[in-house]
Every structure is written in C-alpha cells, then in structure tokens.
Amino acid sequence: MNRFKIKKLPAKLLHKYLNGGGAFTLFGLITVLLIISVLSMITAYFLRADRLIKEHCCSELAHSADEACADFENIFRTDRVTLSMVASVLVEEKFASERAGNFLDMFETSSVISSAGILTAKNTVVLKTGESIDVSGKISYDDEIKLGEHISGLQTPVLIADSGTVIRNYIPVIRGEKKVGMVFAETDPESIARIWSPQIYGGSCIFCVIDRASGKTVLSGSNDSAAFDSLESLGDSELTRQVTEGTTGFQTVKVPKGKGRTQTYFASFKPVEIADWEILVMVRKEEALASMQSFSGSLYLLLCCMTAIFAIYLALLVVAYRHSVEYAEVKANVDVLTGLRNRNLFEQYCAGYDSTGGLVCIYIDANGLHELNNTRGHLAGDQMLRFVADELKVAFGDDTVFRIGGDEFIAFCRDTGATALHAKLEAMNREIENNSYHISAGVGVGAVGINIKALIKVAEEEMYEEKKRYYERIGAEMRNKKEEPKDAEA
C-alpha cells in the first residue's frame, strides 16, 4: 500500500517563502497593524467622547447642586434674620401683644413659603392673632430649647394645616440670661421644591434634600417615577456612605427597578451649610446622553461600518494569502514544465519507505535532449520532455511519477509481474518512438530488506546500460551523465 503523503507546506518551503517571498507577508502584517490602529483610534475617540459627555453631565449636575445649596441657604438665612428681629422685639414685649403679632404678620407677608409663631414653655404656640394653641405631642419645648438656634428635621405641622410635614427654623427669645420662648418659622418642603427645582435636562432630574443623620428625604422634587424617601431605598451603599459623611462628589448609581432590573443614574451631591443636610441631584443616564445620542449613534455606525469593511478586507487578504501559499506549494512541489512532481516530492516519497517489498522503480532518461536543444532549440527540447512526461502519467499515473533532473524521470508502481510491466513499458516506448523521440529505461524490483536508495540505484544502472546500447546502435557518442542529477523545475 502506498504510504506516500504530501505535506501541506514543508518547513524548508515555509522558511523560503517567508524570507524570499516575504513581501506579501510583510504587506499582510502592515495591513493588520493598520486595521488595529484605525479601530483603536476610533474606539479611543468614542471613549473620549463618552467621557466628555459624562464630565459635561457632572458639571451640570454639580452646578445645579450649587444653585440649590445657595437658594436653600438664602431662604433659611433670610427667615433667620427676620426671626432674629422678631425675637429682639419679644425681649421687651409680651408674646400675645399686638406689636408681637404685627411682627409675626410682617414676617409671613415677606416670606411666601413660611408661617411664624412663638413657642412657649407651656408647649403652646402663640399665633399672630394673639391666640394660643396647644402643641403637645407635636413640638417639645424642652427638646427644642436645648438645641438653641437651629433648623429642625421634618416635623408635624402646627401652622400650615394642609402640609404633611414641615421644617422649622428656631430662634430663642432671651430675656436677661434666660430663654423664655422660641420664635419659629414653619416651612412646607413641597413649597420649596415647587419654587425651586433644577430645570436641567428638561426638568426630568430628581432633586432632593437628605437629612444625613437619618438618611431620610427632607424634601424632593421630581417628575421621575424613581423618586425615593430615603437613601436606603436607592440600594447604593457607596452613595449612602458619601452622603452621610457630608462629602461633595459625582457618582454613577444603579437604582433597582424590580424583577432584577436596574436604572442607571448620574448623581451629584453636596452638603448644605445651614443644617445637617445634603443636596442630591440625579438624572437618568439616557437623559444625560440624549443631547449626544445622534452623535453617539453616528459614531457607533461608523465604527460598525469600518469594522465590517476591515473584516471583509481581512477575509479577502486571508483568501489571497491562502492562494499564494497554495501557489507557492505547487511551485515548490510540481515541475513547471511537465506538470510532474519534482525532486522535492520525490525525496519525500522516498523517505516514506524503509523497505521496498512489492515496489518497482522505473528510471527513465530522454535520449538526445542535448542534441535536440543544440539543433532545433530549447522549445523543441521542452516539447519532447512534456510528451515523455505525458506518456509516463498515462502509463503509471500522476501520483508516483517524478522529474528528478533535466531529462531524467522516475516512476514507481506495485509489482504486478514482469510480463505486465514489460508490456506497459513496450506500449509507452512505442508511442514515444512513433513521435520520433527515444527513451532509455531501467527497472528495479524491490524486496523485503532492500532500501529504496538501493532499489533506485539498480534501476539507474540498468537505465545507463540501456542508454549505452541505444547510442551504440545509432552510432553516436553517449554524453557522460554519471553525476548527481540536478533539480530542474523549468
């Protein structure tokens, strides 16, 4: 059984190809590097654009947080200045006096979001009309007087009836060195949120003030369904930590939406100086990036198109490379003139046999090639070699016929008997002579224990004997060809 196998690309050929025909390989390498460079630049540009958009969003949210802080501080500081004036009047006036009531009324007139009253030690509140109402269970005088001048967290309203919770700004009334009461302003957080709400991103952001001590929302304003009443409900421990520590910053927050889904927000936060509060402004990532959505879409499209173009180009390059490798393989393994397998494959074939049992070697030489080249030219000589090669392929097939030298051929076949082999050689020789060409052939029959080099040597010597007889018969001098045959591919 024939054990001959053609290797796809021998190491020797690959080395020759990469070093001798390496222009294509170098071009391919440069192309791949170019593709990687262009895609890297596009990706870097896209990432930079995305970072700039995020920085722009951070700047807008931080500006809104700064505005909110300034507005809140102004609201409560203005109230505190007016309340201090009322407290200074109450040092000399009775809480239920007409003059005290006028000052409370003046305060309410100047403040569009607050109502004022006087908290007494009896846990009653004196109104601007002079009336007193019991606020036990709603306000604790003892607790508030201990805190002195301060702003409360969310408390139950006593002056603003239609509000759920209120914020109070307290100023003590001091007669001598004794605190005798507290004048306070009661503010509805929702009123503050209605008056001031950041209008960035079409007013679709979440705006809130958080009590750092409790993590509860003091007031909020939002058209977003993700409005929340505490930091805990956001489910972001890092944001909770930073807010409760009173830091200023910007962060990406993923808010739970139920069923394992989340919504990404950009959040900016900043502490309020007048109280233990933190301003938090948040906007959906989609809203923040909406202004650049068309740009991002175009960039994505460009990236996809260029990737597709480069992928197609790379695929074509790979196909071309494969074809060039296949061509190089054919060129390295096939004799260009005759189409037969060349000496390279001949040596590979021989390397596959340790023993030649059942193998026959036919060594053929084209007689008169030198004379034909000298008298009729090399084209005539090439024509003769092609004809001899074609007859060898007809007789012995394509796989085991080799051109190993300028006019020398070797064919291998299985031992089918001397009579059958002789008939095949006679038929081939007759066809060649009918076209006025001549060959000399030697046959070596293998046996177990005989290596292939010895087999070829036997066939070669018999061929030379036959060639000698041919030249003696035609009365010509035989050229000395007893040297190593050279590889000739053309």
Q: Residue range 12-39: average pLDDT?
A: 59
**Residues 401-427: b if buried by 16+ CB within 10 A, e if exposed:** bbbbbbbbbbbbbeeeeeeebeebbee
Residues 300 and 412 in one domain: no
Instruction: Read off the pLDDT band of 28 (50, 70, 90).
Output: low
CB 346 within 8 A of CB 409: no
Residues 228 and 149 in one domain: yes
- Closest CA relative to residue 32, chosen from 322, 313, 323, 326: 313
Residues 209 and 357 in one domain: no
CATH code of residue 229: 3.30.450.20
254/270 Cα distance (integer angstroms): 19
pLDDT in tens, 174-186: 998 899 999 999 8
Considering only 1-15, 42-56, 178-192, 424-438, which range has the smallest mean pLDDT? 1-15
Instruction: Read off the pLDDT band of 24 (50, 70, 90).
Output: low
Residues 379 and 297 in one domain: no
Neighbouring C-beta atoms of residue 385, cutoff 10 Å: 22
- Closest CA relative to residue 153, chosen from 237, 280, 278: 278
385/468 Cα distance (integer angstroms): 20
User: Which residues, in sequence order, are CB contacts of 304 under 8 Å at separation 6+?
Assistant: none
Residues 278 and 241 in one domain: yes
The count of domains in the chain is: 2
Q: Residue range 259-264: average pLDDT?
A: 83
CATH code of residue 375: 3.30.70.270
pLDDT greater at residue 15 or residue 436 = 436
432/426 Cα distance (integer angstroms): 10
Among 333, 365, 384, give the residue marking a domain's end.
333
Does residue 236 belong to any structural domain of this protein? yes
Q: Tell me what pLDDT residue 293 has.
A: 64
Considering only 66-75, 212-221, 322-331, 387-396, which range has the smallest mean pLDDT? 322-331
Does residue 410 belong to any structural domain of this protein? yes
367/365 Cα distance (integer angstroms): 6
User: Which residues, in sequence order, are CB contacts of 40 under 8 Å at separation 6+?
Assistant: none
Residues 382 and 276 in one domain: no
Residues 118 and 201 in one domain: yes
pLDDT in tens, 351-380: 888 888 889 999 999 999 988 999 999 999
Q: How far apart are the first and last CA of the chain?
A: 31
Does residue 481 belong to any structural domain of this protein? no
Q: What are phi and psi of 410, to 5 degrees?
A: -130, 135
Q: How far is CA 394 from the centre of its chain?
A: 58
What count of residues does the chain have? 490
268/466 Cα distance (integer angstroms): 101
131/120 Cα distance (integer angstroms): 12
Neighbouring C-beta atoms of residue 342, cutoff 10 Å: 21
Q: Tell me what pLDDT residue 382 has.
A: 94
pLDDT in tens, 334-357: 898 999 999 989 999 998 888 888
Does residue 55 belong to any structural domain of this protein? yes
Q: Residue range 422-439: average pLDDT?
A: 93
SS3 37: helix
Instruction: Read off the pLDDT band of 152 (50, 70, 90).
Output: confident
Does residue 150 belong to any structural domain of this protein? yes
121: its two tokens: 């030690």
pLDDT greater at residue 10 or residue 285 = 285
Considering only 55-64, 106-115, 386-395, which range has the smallest mean pLDDT? 106-115
Does residue 489 belong to any structural domain of this protein? no
Residues 284 and 359 in one domain: no
Residues 358 and 280 in one domain: no
CB 357 within 8 A of CB 452: no
Residue 385 has pLDDT above 90, yes or no: yes
Residue-range definition of the domain harbouring residue 39: 7-333
42/314 Cα distance (integer angstroms): 18
Among 288, 311, 333, give the residue marking a domain's end.
333
Q: Tell me what pLDDT residue 292 has.
A: 63
Residues 59 and 205 in one domain: yes
Considering only 11-25, 58-72, 255-269, which range has the smallest mean pLDDT? 11-25
Q: Residue range 382-387: average pLDDT?
A: 95
Q: Is the pTM of this model over 0.85?
A: no
Residues 220 and 360 in one domain: no
Residues 329 and 353 in one domain: no
pLDDT in tens, 177-230: 899 999 999 888 877 777 666 666 666 778 888 888 888 888 777 655 556 778
Does residue 73 belong to any structural domain of this protein? yes
404/486 Cα distance (integer angstroms): 7
Q: Residue range 90-98: average pLDDT?
A: 87
Does residue 338 belong to any structural domain of this protein? no
